[in-house]
Structure 1
Amino acid sequence: MRDENIPSWLLELEPEDYEFMHRFILTSGSLKKMAKEYGVSYPTIRLRLDRLIQRVSVKSKKEGYISLIKDLALEDEISFEAAKKLIAAYRKERKEVEP
């Protein structure tokens, strides 16, 4: 798979997140099995999964907004220059807001 086909939200995850997802798949999504493998309680694994879901959700929404702007430019509804300015302003604003 080429890098341009990989969603940006996936590229922004930490190595621990990839390992967690790998184990999640191999255990058929069983949080009980994952808790046993990690040697922690079920609520701890559930919390970790919830945090991962939240990070992916936030990153996906950000990607969705940028994709919308790009689509508008490709469909000639806005100029490419306007699209670039909107995306740059959005990224700058997000960096100022995100810790």
Structure 2
Amino acid sequence: MSVDVIPEWMANLDDEDMSFIKKFITASGSLKEIAHQYGVTYPTVRLRLDKLIQKIQIGDDAANEPYIALIKRLAINEKLDFDTAKILISEYKKARKDK
């Protein structure tokens, strides 16, 4: 793999996400250690990791369903509330099925 090519799953990650991944790896995946490094609680780090996992999964979905990936990304980044995102995705899927 060329150094210039960024894997698709990394395309939606920002610098803060990459920093978290680096700390996660260097802490051997210990969320407790990462919580200590950031000076936050374990549940806070767990939530951050869950959001990061969602971003990575959205990156995987983007090629197949770019609109759905956009809606999910907006919800994860708290630009759109979760209930509205679910409605938009549901209506989009319904409209595609009716075609």
Using structure 1 for the length normalisation, give the TM-score: 0.62
Is the helix fraction higher in 1 or 2?
A: 1
Percent of counterpart pairs with the same letter? 43
Using structure 2 for the length normalisation, give the TM-score: 0.62
| Number of corresponding residues | 70
Distance, in Å, in 1 between the alignment partners of 2:61 and 2:22 is: 23
Structure whose CA Rg is larger: 1
Distance, in Å, in 2 between the alignment partners of 1:8 and 1:58 is: 10
| Moved beyond 2 Å, runs of 4+ | 1-4
- Unpaired runs of 5+ residues, structure 2, are 75-99
Alignment of 1:23-62 (within 5 A): 23-62=23-62
Give, in angstroms, the shift of residue 7 of structure 1.
1.3
Q: Which has the higher contact order (CA 8 A, sep 6+)?
A: 2
Note the aligned Cα RMSD (angstroms).
Answer: 1.9
Give, in angstroms, the shift of residue 39 of structure 1.
0.1
